Amino acid sequence: MSGKIYDISPAVATDLAVYPGDLPYSSHSATDSGVMVSDIHTTLHIGAHVDAPLHCMANAASIDQVEPSYFVGSCQVIKLRLKPKYKLTPSDFKDIAITEKRILIATGTFEPTKWSDDYAAFHPECIDFFHTKGVFLIGIDTPSVDPAAAHHLPAHKRMAEQGIIGLENLYLNEVEQGYYLLIALPLKLRGLEASPVRAILTEV
């Protein structure tokens, strides 16, 4: 690995916003004979995280069943200036050449330490568009690929149907548009629907 490394994961701490109703992050540490041992309690959808198809589709693949190759490899970062509550459609990418199978989209519409439901998200047609381009991983700098009010998760479901994995709540403020190597491996949590990740980019 060569080139600068960009950490695109917000720090997991008590000030990190979670989706309303999800279990917020908490931790407990104890020291005995100079040895520190800690535990944490939190939703799996904390900070930068990956959703498996099981998140929105019964009997679909759990996070331990998703191939690691999804999360390691070349990617394309696209930076857009979007209005609050904007829904991305194929027309937003008509002048952008989609050349990679992993796409990360910076919308600039969400602050990880302050919950707000006016972040940008995807229209399901946009998921279909990326599928036609051969994309199999879509990342975004918001807590969900769906709008906060879309409780039936249409974009999540379309991604599961199309075999596309979602990588949510990235921190892309310090990354320029362009091409990078992505490493964002989830924990191998058997039978569960999501996992936090430590996502990084490196220049290629």
| Contacting residues for 67 by C-beta, under 8 A, at least 6 apart | none
Name the residues annotated as catalytic: 55
Closest CA to 54 of 203, 195, 204, 199: 195
Q: Helix, strand, coil shares of the chain as percentages rounded to 5?
A: 15, 30, 55
Phi/psi for 112 (5° steps) reads -60, -25
Measured from the Cβ of residue 103, the count of other Cβ atoms closer than 10 Å reads 23
